[in-house]
Structure 1
Amino acid sequence: MNAEISAVWNKIQGMINGFIILLPNIVLALIVFAIFFFVARAIKRLVKRLTRNRRQARNLGLVLGRLAQGITILVGLFVALSIVIPTFKAGDLVQLLGISGVAIGFAFRDILQNFLSGILILLTEPFQIDDQIVFNNFEGTVENIETRATTIRTYDGRRIVIPNSQLFTNSVTVNTAFDNRRLEYDVGIGYGDDIDLAKQLMLEAMHNVDEVLKDPAPDVLVMELAESTVNIRARWWITPPRRIDSLRSRDKVISAIKQKLYVENGIDLPYPTRQILFHDQTEETDGNRSRQREGWPAGKSEVPKPRRISDSLRLLAQVRSENNNNGKADSQTVNDEI
């Protein structure tokens, strides 16, 4: 029993002696680690100070500052361990971390992908905070860009959180990327109206709207011969290119065009119309049926005579009346025979 206690005491005494021997190294290692720790904090503050002028740059500075701080602290930890344990090799720990990193990478693949995408978005800046973007079915103003996700505020007051990996690997429309933005609207006039006059009046209407830029100048183009209208496209530029500005300019431009065309100059803005043709109906004013007509082959030898709808209805009533009279006569004959 005494031998066992003596052996334990010798081990404890050896550990104490070893600790006392390592104590200077431990103190030095703590001092070195503390120096690296404060240097890391100073680097983080420096990066944040360099990027404090712009909001998006502040986000990038915060991320880069944290990365620099973590790397500096990790290096300080390696140096401190090398002082305390002279046989310690940083390469062994790096190899161990590399093997563990592969497993962690598979386990947290989506998180790491979003993190790297967030870093690349902050570095390349395809869009910035306060930009108005369109992504898939979402449209709104960018509120914040973080390392994991980007948040946008929709125009109806909702918040959408989009993972950065989706934003980085898919198409994003940035409506406020440039100072100016072009808008357009199609106006349909009647086939009997003067196209050149309508285009001139539409240009005059757009030039009278304050929100429409003079340079680049607005223009109008004939786009389509539709079923019941001749469609003319009005195009104009605005600045700034934000959503509220586009809505206001669209409201004023469309109102001015309608006032100029329809109210002041009597140019028709027709509703969709549909023409129904009857093969047994034609008016004298319709022209020569042997040469033309929708619904009747041109050049047909037997051309139906002109007939009005009222005549057709009168003929139909007469036929029905005769059929009714014949039915009564047949019924009377049967009764007489009985």
Structure 2
Amino acid sequence: MEFLIESLLADWQAFLRFAPRLLYGLVLLTVFLIAACLIGRFTASIFDRSPRLRTNKHFLKHVVTWSISGLGILLALGIMGFSGIAASLLATGGVVAIVLGFAFREIGENFLAGFFLTFSRPFELDDLVKTGDLTGVVRSIELRSVHIRTFDGCDVFVPSAQIFREPLYNYTRDGLRRPSFTVGVAYHDEPERVIALLENAARSTVGVLSEPKAFVSVEIFDAQFIQYQVFFWLDETRNERGYIATCNDVKIACWRALRDAGMTFSSDVSSGIDILSTPDSRPGVDDKASVSKGASS
């Protein structure tokens, strides 16, 4: 019985000697946890002001909170005299990180790429982008993937690593785009007159910028026709008609200009959209001919 009492007294005295360090450690841990919450909220409010960081503000908030909390736990364990436990936690965390890194390499690669894309954002929501063979409008941006909606209404979730690794084309970063299309006109029609007609038709179309000016160049001397390429500039930030509608307006305007001038133009060119001449087309226009098949942007 006496031995038991002495053991209890010894344990109590050891606890009293350890109590200050325990108290200091708990106070420090509490301070770090409160600071982590406050700094996390403050960080989220700062990120919320930036369009580039707003999408991933919750993830960034958690990263800041967890980092400060983890630092507080390690310091508290050191003050309490558990430095060995703190070192073991660090070593174990490193081993676990390596194992998980090999096991989930692709997932980790996507998250890491998404983290870098957060700060070097090459696109924003509603931007028209192209990556690989995929072209569409950005609908949402997450760390692991980017949601892109194609023109045919298909929703595609592209891994962040693919966007980070491959070339990315952003067609709407500054709003300026230069579409073009080709049209073949017969040799007996003077090139100077053809170029003037096509340039005037393109420049007079609503939505086409006056500066830089639309221009036309001779592309190829084909077997039966001279192929002309029409270039013009659009500003999608101010174009109410939209990109596709304005391109279509320019093609129709050029078709009318050539038709009204009685020129013979061909459909034997490489493009994307067919604009066929009507059976009652005016004299001088080949009934089997058509305007260029659209613009290859």
Normalised-by-shorter TM-score class: 0.7 to 0.9
Equivalent positions of 1:91-110 (< 5 A) are: 91-110=87-106
Q: Could you say if the C-alpha distance between residues 162 and 10 of structure 1 is closer, same or farther in structure 2, counting changes exceeding 3 Å?
A: farther
Partner of 1:146: 142
SS at match of 1:45: helix
Structure 1 residue 203, shift from structure 2 partner: 1.1
Q: Is the 8 A contact 1:114 1:148 kept in 2?
A: yes
84-93 vs 175-184, which moves further: 84-93
Give 1:9 deviation, angstroms: 10
Contact 1:29–1:81 under 8 Å retained in 2: yes
> How far 1:19 sits from its partner (Å)?
5.8
Name the structure 2 match of 1:191: 187
Letter in 2 for 1:146: E
CA contact (8 A) 1:209 1:252 kept: yes
**Partner residue in 2 for 1:253:** 250
Q: TM-score, normalised by structure 1?
A: 0.70
Counting only pairs closer than 5 Å after superposition, residues 106-145 of structure 1 correspond to structure 2 as 106-145=102-141
- Structure 1 gaps of 5+ residues are 273-338
RMSD of aligned residue pairs (Cα, Å): 2.9
The answer to whether the 8 Å contact 1:47/1:62 transfers is no
Q: Which has the higher helix share?
A: 1
Residue 256 of structure 1: how far off its partner (Å): 0.5
Looking at structure 2, the residues matched to 105 and 16 of structure 1 have their Cα atoms a distance apart, in angstroms, of: 46
Task: Determine whether 1:48 maps to 2:75.
Answer: no
The 1:87–1:211 alpha-carbon spacing in structure 2 relative to 1, beyond 3 Å, is: closer
Q: Which residue number in structure 1 is paired with residue 197 of structure 2? A: 201
Per-residue deviation, residues 238-290 of structure 1 (Å, max 9, x unmatched): 0016897220111110111111111x111112355xxxxxxxxxxxxxxxxxx
Q: Following superposition of structure 1 onto structure 2, how do residues 1-338 of structure 1 map, counting pairs within 5 Å?
A: 22-88=18-84, 90-240=86-236, 245-262=242-259, 264-272=260-268
Give the number of the structure whose residues are more often strand, by fraction. Answer: 2
Query: Based on CA coordinates, which of the two structures has the bigger radius of gyration?
Result: 1
Q: 1:246 to 1:11 in 2, by over 3 A?
A: farther
Instruction: Count the aligned residue pairs.
Output: 267
Conservation of the 8 A alpha-carbon contact between 2:128 and 2:171: yes
Structure 1 residue 115 displacement after superposition: 1.4
Identity fraction in percent: 23
TM-score (norm 2): 0.79
Residues 58, 270 of structure 1: CA spacing in aligned structure 2 closer, same or farther, 3 A cutoff? Answer: closer
Q: In 1, Cα distance between the equivalents of 2:3 and 2:212?
A: 95
The structural deviation recorded for 1:60 is 4.5
The 8 Å contact of residues 183 and 267 in structure 2, kept in 1 or not, is answered as: no
Whether the 8 Å CA contact 1:44–1:62 is kept in 2: the answer is no
- Decide whether aligned partners of structure 1 residues 271 and 25 sit closer, same or farther in structure 2, where only a CA change above 3 A counts: closer
Report the Cα distance in structure 2 between the residues aligned to 1:224 and 1:121, rounded to whole angstroms.
Answer: 42
1 CA distance for matches of 2:51 and 2:67?
25
**Counterpart secondary structure, 1:214:** coil
Q: Which runs of 5+ in 2 are unaligned?
A: 269-297
After superposition, the C-alpha distances for 1:14-48 in whole angstroms (9 at most, x for unaligned) are 77876676455444433322211111111111222
| Alpha-carbon distance between aligned partners in 1 of 2:264 and 2:46, rounded to the nearest angstrom | 62
User: What one-letter code is carried by the residue in structure 1 that aligns with 2:84?
Assistant: F
Q: In structure 2, do the counterparts of structure 1 residues 11 and 111 end up closer, same or farther at CA, with 3 Å as the change threshold? A: farther
Inter-partner Cα distance in structure 1 for 2:99 and 2:11: 36
